[in-house]
Amino acid sequence: MKHITSQDIQEMKKVYRLNLINSCTGYKSANLIATRSKAGIPNVAVFSSITHIGSEPAMLGFVTRPLTVARNTYKNIKETSYFTVNHIHEEMIQKAHQTAAKYDEEISEFEKTGLEEEYLNDFQAPYVKQSEIKLGCKFLNEYEIKENDTLLIVAAIEHIYFDEGIQMPDGWLRLDDAGTVAVNGLDGYSLPSLLDRFHYARPGQEVRSFFSQKSN
Amino acid sequence: MKHITSQDIQEMKKVYRLNLINSCTGYKSANLIATRSKAGIPNVAVFSSITHIGSEPAMLGFVTRPLTVARNTYKNIKETSYFTVNHIHEEMIQKAHQTAAKYDEEISEFEKTGLEEEYLNDFQAPYVKQSEIKLGCKFLNEYEIKENDTLLIVAAIEHIYFDEGIQMPDGWLRLDDAGTVAVNGLDGYSLPSLLDRFHYARPGQEVRSFFSQKSN
């Protein structure tokens, strides 16, 4: 096995380090965050840091740098409190990746990429029409991560949209039925397929699959 | 499309809500966090909230509740500052899931699950031998997420181990070559395969693949 130390990491060239460190923590969620400024300009940008924060109340979080390419997203969220989270699917990966380009603030990435805006139930922020799972979120709080001046944004999940066919009777959304992708590093888009789903683990009991009688 | 509102979410039964909210944000990373208490008892537990925080310095974060099943992990990290992050691969998903069972504090999940401890370069915490990508980490800080009394743990990545064959010349680790899995919800384990990897996006330029001459 190759062994890389802190010292090695510090001495790496910037892009090499970005590629290694962004891929070494495993797969990341692949989502588009869409917002609309007070002036009415929509914005959409790819994010791989969206993660589950809690179910009761329903909340998600994501990490951002306020002054990088995500600055329009951040500014719009702070101005309006609202944003949407839209899954990226296999057919959309080029369009989704293109949202990472540094467009000027007055330009809508929707126009430039072919992603389509969709407004649902008078929500302030646009959804992405091509997404099969989409969330309407409201900003709750931000936490400054002092170690590198990033922010953890925490938000309430207020609306969830999805095709009924991908939901199991116990509430779970089967993401491979929606063709949702995952991100490998900064720029790799991967398509997962379900291996198995397991019942709640208990000491002294073998792990049991939802899909068969096999116990191991 | 099915539309679920805040009100619907509040009125759901607990397990249904857990399943829906944990799956609606997309795929999550699948890792085992391993620690060793001051008294020498090792601990290993599955986590799906590990995410990239920054590359310079190299840092990761994860969200935990200090008083749930993860309490041993948290206590050991606070006692010793050290922990490891170990990828979960296709052949390990049952063993990894079994670590979520509520074992007593003095019991090692390594013994109970068949996952093997491995100590590398005098690092205080054990690695998981079966993992093909593993990180040695040091606690840096914790942030209390007041909205639901969870903690964001932020840590430095001090050691990285992987098989050299999965790394591309630009530093990127190709996770499907390692057979790393992703988590769908609380209990679904999925195997991703790479669709494509794209060059840095620029305004007015078509997205370009790393793997071919095709531009779209």
Are residues B171 and A135, on separate chains, in Cβ contact within 8 Å?
A: no
Whole-angstrom distance, CA of residue B58 vs CA of residue B146: 26
Do residues B131 and B156 touch, judged by C-beta distance below 8 A? no
Task: Kindly report the CATH number assigned to the domain that includes residue B105.
Answer: 2.30.110.10
Rg (CA), chain B: 19
In a domain, A100, yes or no: yes
Do A1 and B163 count as a contact with CB atoms less than 8 A apart? yes
Asked whether the beta carbons of A15 and B164 are under 8 A apart, the reply is no
Total structural domains in chain A? 1
CB atoms within 10 A of CB A202: 14
Q: Tell me whether residue B196 is in a domain.
A: no
Using CA atoms, how far apart are residues B81 and B104, in angstroms rounded to an integer?
Answer: 22
Chain B residue whose CA is closest to A182:
B27
Cα of B38 to nearest chain A Cα, Å: 24
Interface probe, candidates B51, B65, B121, B166, chain A, greatest A C-beta count within 10 A: B51
Question: Does residue A205 contact residue B103 with C-beta atoms inside 8 Å?
Answer: no
Identify which of B200, B10, B57, B113 has the alpha carbon closest to the alpha carbon of residue A145: B57
CB atoms within 10 A of CB A67: 9
CA B62/CA B51 separation, integer angstroms: 6
In a domain, B34, yes or no: yes
pLDDT in tens, chain A (216 residues): 999 999 999 999 999 999 999 999 999 999 999 999 999 999 999 999 999 999 999 999 999 986 766 688 999 999 999 999 999 999 999 999 999 988 888 888 999 999 999 999 999 999 999 999 999 999 999 999 999 999 999 999 999 999 999 999 999 999 999 999 999 999 999 999 999 999 999 999 999 999 875 444
For A21-68, what is each residue's pLDDT tens digit? 999 999 999 999 999 999 999 999 999 999 999 999 999 999 998 676
Helices and strands, counts by H and E, chain B: 6, 13
Calculate ∠ Cα A62-A67-A71, nearest 5°.
65
Quick check: A88 and A97 in contact, CB under 8 A? no
A16 found inside a domain: no
Residue B179 vs residues A22, B34, B84, B210: alpha-carbon distances, Å:
17, 20, 19, 21
**Cβ contacts of A59 on chain B, cutoff 8 Å:** 147-148
Best to test chain B binding among A85, A173, A193, A216 (most B CBs inside 10 Å) = A173
Residue B22 lies in a domain: no
* Domain assignment present for A210: no
Give the residue numbers spanning the domain of A48: 28-190
CA neighbor of B49 nearest in space, from A63, A142, A45, A149: A63
Indicate yes or no: CB of A15 within 8 angstroms of CB of B146: no
The CA-CA-CA angle for residues B70, B71, B77, to 5°, reads: 95
A41 touches chain B (CB under 8 A): no
Write the ipTM.
Answer: 0.96
Q: Does any domain span residue A8?
A: no
Whether A159 sits inside 8 A of B4 (CB atoms) is yes
Q: Cβ(B132)–Cβ(B45) under 8 Å?
A: no
Look at residue A211 and tell me if it is in a domain. no
Digit-coded pLDDT (tens) for B131-147: 999 999 999 999 999 99
Contacts of B143 in chain A (CB under 8 A): 143, 145, 152
